[in-house]
């Protein structure tokens, strides 16, 4: 009950500190006979990897996935899939100077409040490094969704600091997202975002922003009507990502400024005879259950807490001190947050897709 598991039917449990032996994940409940190779997991890991461009941290984590269990001759066995990613680039010495400090807007103080101690060699369990394990599990979920239901999940950067991209969620392609290091399919704004991030780096500062994600071909009927609404589980998963401060689905906060008559999504009969909506302010979910339209969500990420400017803080003894972070850090997590958002959305959808299999069983 330490809160390191996610999902019910497709259930993942992650482990690992940033500077221990490694991080990893166990996926329990993945159906057997799913064809998947370690290279598909590695592919998603590589998208999350630091050091992909000047815009993100220059650390070379070189995350290599080793499948310890659950795969055999290229397919899943139906047993737990365990994936280990060794820590290699760990330089704990860099943290020694800060072992008695509480970095502002980091988890140092709260970790000590909770546990009475912490692994001070980096962020420990609170490190964003833990998300590599989620991405590995998300790659399995993605493959299941694709193979079993044709669902595709794609995310991109929608906003960095004051720069808002103009994007039609329906038309974005993976190629357009990966075409630039910011992972923003609006090429013009992507350049402006890159410049802003570079500027922040030069000032030892950092920027936040918004990632948008769409899931296409989600069949109607996923999600539960009360607590485990699809948007509730999406919010739960996405707000569990480090640095996330907000979540919205469909019209979100902006939708609160419309009237009901302007906000409701009128139904029409689609070409296949199934009800479709003319608009998608619902974001693909109504009453907690998918309606067959694109599921569209957005996540707010705060500016990275680690900055190279001097900051006021306190140490364990209560003394007020000035902290100046050293080391290599992301001036903006948004580009690397894209695969994280996709991974969490895949985990939620795979879980609900399987849950629905256990419900829809009678004629």
Site for a copy of itself contains 138 (CB under 8 A): no
Q: Does 15 bind a copy of itself (CB under 8 A)?
A: yes
Please name the residues in contact with 297: beta carbons below 8 A apart, sequence gap of 6 or more.
212, 213, 231, 234, 238, 247, 248, 249, 283, 345
What whole-number distance in Å separates Cα of residue 135 and Cα of residue 50?
13
Neighbour-count burial of 17, counting CB atoms closer than 10 A to its CB (0-12 exposed, 13-18 middle, 19+ buried): buried
> Residue 177 or residue 300: which is nearer to a copy of itself going by CB?
300
Count residues binding a copy of itself (CB under 8 A). Answer: 161
CB within 8 A of 288, min separation 6: which ones? Answer: 223, 224, 225, 226, 228, 229, 230, 231, 232
Residue 288 in the binding site for a copy of itself (CB under 8 A):
yes
By CB atoms closer than 10 A (0-12, 13-18, 19+), residue 179 is middle
Segment 226 to 265, residues that bind a copy of itself, using CB under 8 A: 226-229, 231-240, 242, 244-253, 255-265
Stretch that binds a copy of itself, among 48-56, 71-79, 171-179, 186-194 (CB under 8 A): 71-79
Least Å from the CB of residue 357 to a copy of itself = 5
Q: Candidates 51-59, 173-181, 224-232, 335-343 — which segment interacts with a copy of itself by CB under 8 A?
A: 224-232
- CA separation for the pair 122, 96 (Å, rounded): 9
Interface with a copy of itself, residue 57, by CB under 8 A: no
Neighbours of 248 (CB within 10 A): 20
Task: Provide the minimum distance between the beta carbon of 163 and a copy of itself in the complex, in angstroms, as a whole number.
Answer: 10
Nearer to a copy of itself, 115 or 173 (CB): 115
- From 43-51, 53-61, 173-181, 296-304, give the range in contact with a copy of itself by CB under 8 A: 296-304
Query: Toward a copy of itself, which CB reaches closer, 175 or 318?
Result: 318
């Amino acid at each position: 009950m330490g809160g390191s598991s996610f999902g019910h039917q497709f259930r993942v449990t992650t482990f690992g500190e940033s500077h221990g032996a490694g991080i990893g994940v166990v996926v329990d409940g993945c159906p057997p006979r799913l064809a998947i190779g370690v290279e598909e997991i590695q592919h998603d890991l590589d998208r999350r990897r630091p050091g992909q461009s000047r815009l993100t941290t220059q650390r070379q984590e070189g995350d290599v996935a080793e499948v310890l269990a659950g795969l055999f001759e290229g397919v899943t066995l139906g047993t737990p899939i365990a994936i280990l990613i060794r820590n290699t680039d760990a330089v704990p010495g860099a943290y020694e100077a800060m072992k008695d400090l509480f970095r502002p807007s980091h988890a140092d103080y709260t970790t000590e409040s909770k546990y009475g101690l912490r692994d001070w060699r980096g962020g420990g369990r609170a490190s964003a490094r833990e998300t590599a394990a989620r991405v590995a599990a998300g790659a399995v979920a993605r493959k299941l969704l694709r193979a079993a239901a044709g669902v595709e999940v794609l995310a991109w950067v929608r906003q960095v600091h004051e720069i808002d991209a103009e994007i039609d969620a329906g038309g974005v392609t993976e190629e357009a997202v990966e075409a630039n290091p910011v992972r923003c399919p609006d090429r013009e704004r992507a350049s402006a975002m890159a410049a802003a991030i570079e500027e922040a780096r030069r000032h030892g500062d950092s920027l936040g922003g918004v990632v948008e994600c769409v899931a296409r071909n989600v069949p109607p009927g996923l999600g539960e009507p009360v607590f485990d609404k699809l948007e509730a589980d999406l919010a739960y998963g996405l707000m569990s990502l480090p640095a996330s401060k907000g979540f919205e689905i469909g019209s979100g906060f902006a939708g609160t400024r419309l009237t009901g008559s302007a906000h409701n999504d009128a139904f029409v009969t689609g070409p296949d005879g199934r009800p479709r909506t003319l608009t998608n302010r619902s974001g693909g979910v109504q009453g907690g259950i998918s309606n067959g339209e694109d599921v569209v969500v957005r996540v707010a990420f705060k500016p990275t807490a680690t900055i190279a400017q001097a900051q006021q803080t306190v140490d364990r003894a209560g003394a007020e001190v000035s902290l100046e972070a050293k080391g290599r850090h992301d001036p903006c997590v948004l580009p690397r947050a894209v695969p994280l958002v996709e991974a969490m959305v895949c985990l939620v959808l795979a879980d609900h897709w399987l849950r629905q299999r256990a419900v829809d069983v009678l004629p």
